[in-house]
A and B are shown apart, each in its own frame.
Chain A
Amino acid sequence: MIDPQQLAYDYDEERLGFEEPPRVAAPSIADGQRVGVFLLALGLLSLAIQLSSGKLLGSWLGFLAAALPLATGALLFIWYGYTGSEAGIQNDGIHFSAAKSRGWIGWALGIAITGFYVALYWYPDSMSAAVRWVDPLARSISGSAADRWFLYGFLYTMAVLIFGARMMLRYRHNQYEQLRTLSVGFFQLGLAFVLPQLLKAFQQPEHYFTYFWPLKPEYLYPWKVKELLAMPGGVGVFMFAFSATMTAVVTPVLTYYFGKRWYCSWVCGCGGLAETLGDPWRQLSSKSTLSWKIERGIIYSVLGLVVLTTLVLWINAQSSGRLFAGFSGRLAAWYGFYIGALFSGVIGVGFYPILGSRVWCRFGCPMAAILGILQRFFSRFRITTNGDQCMSCGNCSTYCEMGIDVRAYAQSGKNIVRSSCVGCGICAAVCPRGVLKLENGADFRDRYPESDRPLDAMLAAIRAAKPYE
């Protein structure tokens, strides 16, 4: 006898989905978090008064009066948000959150961050007061006045460190996540923020040792190379040699042994910001086959473009400006503006709360494209699927910031070897059955059928209509 109540059931789960369930009372906010919010408000107020009145701007007192309450407020809020809970995966309510699931807070944050980038790139005058706010810090490190890029670097580094602290607490049961977070924090603070400023203090060019061609294409542009090689002393030569070696030798070797993650989620500043500030929005990346097709189209186009730009610039330089006169410069400027600024900054970071945290890394970054090709065909790295243990729940795919449908592999017992995987390790962390493990194998040939013939695998991948075919 079939239950008549069951026969009456015809809820349209596809159209209506499942909304937020009822709850007893709004979760109480810890006292420490209240203090944090108070300090954050105090810091913002202090900053707003300084920026509008100009008072105290440019003094240490003014800088600290806003920076200290903001930083301690944020840290207190984060600390007390996690210390009350058991260590473990903390994803309750993410898809009900207005901030984390494209609710009004998410949209407001997206507009605010995008607005910041637009102001930074195209309306530098609007930033002049804020630049003066960080001036004392700039002078103490580099000896010269702050500019808007110093302000940007300061805010960027603070975001990585403060949200890095959040990652450390959030994943306090997972040493891979903790070490990775410490690593991106170290590289951002030391090599991407303090060192370039110190170089400036010693009258050297502001050089970033964590960025190489093609993510920072100018490091192999002829004018830059000439400028470095022409510098007196060995510093310029060293900088050129470092960048060139990183691009040509270190990148393929490290990627062979460890996969693309050595860079994308351990060193890179863009990755560092995505893995810290961007973490609350990682689940927003689309997993559809269509988005994979768009991803493939755009990222390899950008790679082609940066290769073309570099070639054209060199042909122009070698022909003493006769070939591609004017065009080469315009192309480089166009690339710098549309890809380097608009895509990586405005869309890449500004759209975190809408499209997820790795928009630039997934759809745009030419460095990621090269690392990805190496990882897919010439690397020992793979995410191993543990036997037949997958129960297709989908946590791995949901929390993949690169939009990889991890489950599609795991449920059929396959290893995950994808060019886009940045090795953040979150799929393995959120898996409730311990099915996934990031590994560097002893060889690159045992990862998937045909992985022993990388060139054939590459041709097959180019022809594939689905990423997991």
Chain B
Amino acid sequence: MQIVIIGNGIAGVSAAIRIRELKPDWRITLVSGESDYHYSRPALMYVFMGHMRYADCKPYEDSFWEERRLERLRDWVTAIDVDKKRLYLARHDELAYDRLLIATGSKTNRFGWPGQDLRGVQGLYDLMDLRLLYENTKDCEQAIVVGGGLIGIELAEMLHSRGIHVRFLVREASYWDNILPAGESEMINALIRRHGFGLELETELAEIVDDGRGCACAVRTKDGRRFDCQLVGLTAGVSPNVAVVSGTAIDVGRGVLVDTGFHTSVDDVFAAGDCAEIRADGAERTLIQQVWYTGKAQGIHAGEIMADGAGSYDPGIWYNSAKFLSLEYQTYGEVNRAVDGEESLYWEDRDRMLACRIVHVAGRVIGFNFMGLRARHRVCERWIAQRRTVEYVLDHLEECNFDPEFSRRHERQMKVSLRAQLFAAGANA
């Protein structure tokens, strides 16, 4: 059995490792034109900032791949022939497969802005983008970052570490407020300004101005302002990278359409990770998950199915984490998702940049947000799964603390404040 996996990101690699665990004698080949070995995408910022060398962001020693007989092919797939079960490659001969996994990840969103293809305009997703950033930061003093999300703030931090002034253009009224509730979002606004970045809220990009030689030299906003810059970072989200699938019989929606077993519309072709759009039987909405953790979970699950396993993908209780400059953020369950009857208790210490939010429906906990505080994943997950009451969670708040030993503890203040809110809400009801 020949397994071929397009893409050596976390989804593809997780699938490969899982298939090898289950099928010791199958042939497994990972094809990627991006890098020889799998590396951690979220670590690219640390390579640029000099925290790590590129070699340090490879999660496995090079010998790992030979030991597990996971073959690596450095090439781009240009086309798939699903009838002949063959891949066409840019530099090598065609490659036959018995089962194929498409794990091609995402690409940067470009919403048709005038000037979006000028030199000096880029996203930040893969090694090609990182290489491009080296070119684009030459003689760059001012940069504009379009879009307020996780990649945007990482790009800003990277540029800032090289002495480049960064200004954000954010369409929303507050940073990342489509995901974060007002309190947390405002905390990040304050943090961004404290670091000396420009933050233009409710500002939309109208066009990127050409300096006459094909390079970006400024941006113009929809409200008529102009900001000079030598680099424009496009970080208004990513979308599934489906280029390799186009023109085949494989069904594509926003991403490669799959069922909860990661089967595409074509036999023996699977898709997982950022590029997959999951359509559960009978479900109204499809699911596209584009974070590291879901890439890993989907990859492992797809690998199991490809190795003749059974079962359907259950996304489980959502979690995610990030670091905004020096501020850590963790989220569990459902926060700010417009769930019916959703209410929340919120404590913050703005001076110390700490916050905790407990989201509940009729007194039963459904989600948590933590800023500047570390929480225990398994405890939060259990509380949500067991539908614990807010009172129970407040009584046991210490159990979920994951801060380093001897850290200043805040449970007392948190409990006083959150219980008062709970009492006030009860009194109003």
A interface residues, Cβ below 8 angstroms from B: 1-3, 6-7, 9-11, 13-14, 17-25, 27, 86-89, 91-97, 173-176, 179, 288-289, 384, 386-389, 391-395, 397-398, 405, 407-408, 411, 425, 428-430, 432-434, 437-439
Assembled-state Cα–Cα distance A389/B33 (Å): 28
Look across to chain B and name the residue whose beta carbon is closest to the beta carbon of A386. B377
Look across to chain B and name the residue whose beta carbon is closest to the beta carbon of A405. B61
A433–B323 CB distance below 8 A = yes
B43–A394 CB distance below 8 A = yes
Look across to chain B and name the residue whose beta carbon is closest to the beta carbon of A173. B326
Please judge, given known A-B contacts A14-B37, A174-B404, whether A391 and B42 are in contact too, CB under 8 Å.
yes
A25–B163 CB distance below 8 A = yes
Whether B4 sits at the interface, judged by CB under 8 Å, is no
Task: Report A455 CB to chain B, min CB distance, Å.
Answer: 29
A289–B374 CB distance below 8 A = no
Ranked nearest first, the 4 interchain pairs of A and B with the lowest CB-CB distance are A387-B377, A88-B326, A24-B163, A434-B374
B323–A432 CB distance below 8 A = yes
Task: Report B289 CB to chain A, min CB distance, Å.
Answer: 14
In the complex, per-residue mask of B38-56: 1 if CB is within 8 Å of any chain A CB, else 0: 0010110011111111111
In the complex, per-residue mask of B242-263: 1 if CB is within 8 Å of any chain A CB, else 0: 0110100000000000000000
Residue among B246, B321, B403 with the highest chain A CB neighbour number at 10 A: B321
Whether B84 sits at the interface, judged by CB under 8 Å, is no
B37 contact set on A, CB distance < 8 A: 14
B130 contact set on A, CB distance < 8 A: 18
B163–A392 CB distance below 8 A = no
B325–A94 CB distance below 8 A = no
Q: Which of B137-145, B202-210, B213-221 contacts A (4 or more CB under 8 A)?
A: B137-145
Query: How many A-B Cβ pairs are below 8 Å?
Result: 188
B42–A88 CB distance below 8 A = no
A175–B128 CB distance below 8 A = no
A387–B326 CB distance below 8 A = no
Look across to chain B and name the residue whose beta carbon is closest to the beta carbon of A410. B59
Partner pick for B325 among A20, A86, A97, A411, CB 8 A cutoff? A86
Assembled-state Cα–Cα distance A14/B34 (Å): 12
A173 contact set on B, CB distance < 8 A: 326
A439 contact set on B, CB distance < 8 A: 405
Assembled-state Cα–Cα distance A438/B78 (Å): 48
Partner pick for A175 among B54, B162, B328, B404, CB 8 A cutoff? B404
Assembled-state Cα–Cα distance A179/B404 (Å): 12
B90 contact set on A, CB distance < 8 A: 7
Whether B161 sits at the interface, judged by CB under 8 Å, is yes
Assembled-state Cα–Cα distance A91/B48 (Å): 11
Assembled-state Cα–Cα distance A397/B139 (Å): 34
Q: What are 10 A-to-B residue pairs whose CB atoms are below 8 Å? A: A7-B90, A21-B162, A23-B164, A86-B195, A93-B49, A386-B376, A391-B40, A393-B40, A433-B330, A438-B405
Assembled-state Cα–Cα distance A21/B164 (Å): 12
B48–A18 CB distance below 8 A = yes
B162 contact set on A, CB distance < 8 A: 21-24
**Given A17-B53, A179-B406, A384-B402, list of 15 further CB < 8 A pairs?**
A1-B246, A21-B162, A91-B50, A95-B52, A388-B296, A388-B377, A393-B52, A394-B52, A408-B60, A425-B405, A432-B328, A433-B323, A433-B328, A433-B330, A437-B374
B319 contact set on A, CB distance < 8 A: 387-389
Main secondary structure on chain A at its contact with chain B? loop
Please judge, given known A-B contacts A2-B76, A175-B408, whether A18 and B51 are in contact too, CB under 8 Å.
no
A7–B50 CB distance below 8 A = no
In the complex, per-residue mask of B184-202: 1 if CB is within 8 Å of any chain A CB, else 0: 0000000000110000000
Partner pick for A176 among B74, B376, B406, CB 8 A cutoff? B406
Task: Report A17 CB to chain B, min CB distance, Å.
Answer: 5
Look across to chain B and name the residue whose beta carbon is closest to the beta carbon of A423. B405
B378 contact set on A, CB distance < 8 A: 387
Whether B16 sits at the interface, judged by CB under 8 Å, is no
Task: Report A361 CB to chain B, min CB distance, Å.
Answer: 21
Assembled-state Cα–Cα distance A385/B56 (Å): 20
A92–B50 CB distance below 8 A = yes
B47 contact set on A, CB distance < 8 A: 18
A393–B43 CB distance below 8 A = yes
Partner pick for B57 among A2, A174, A175, A393, CB 8 A cutoff? A393
Assembled-state Cα–Cα distance A3/B246 (Å): 13
A7–B325 CB distance below 8 A = no
Please judge, given known A-B contacts A88-B325, A391-B40, whether A386 and B402 are in contact too, CB under 8 Å.
yes
B195 contact set on A, CB distance < 8 A: 86
B33–A6 CB distance below 8 A = yes
Task: Report B378 CB to chain A, min CB distance, Å.
Answer: 5
A27–B52 CB distance below 8 A = no
Partner pick for B330 among A174, A176, A434, CB 8 A cutoff? A434
B326 contact set on A, CB distance < 8 A: 86-89, 173
In the complex, per-residue mask of B392-429: 1 if CB is within 8 Å of any chain A CB, else 0: 00000000001111111000000000000000000000
Task: Report A87 CB to chain B, min CB distance, Å.
Answer: 7
A22–B137 CB distance below 8 A = yes
Look across to chain B and name the residue whose beta carbon is closest to the beta carbon of A438. B405
B43 contact set on A, CB distance < 8 A: 391-395
Task: Report B428 CB to chain A, min CB distance, Å.
Answer: 35
Task: Report A170 CB to chain B, min CB distance, Å.
Answer: 13
Whether B302 sits at the interface, judged by CB under 8 Å, is no
Task: Report A431 CB to chain B, min CB distance, Å.
Answer: 9
Please judge, given known A-B contacts A22-B140, A23-B163, whether A13 and B328 are in contact too, CB under 8 Å.
no
Whether B336 sits at the interface, judged by CB under 8 Å, is no
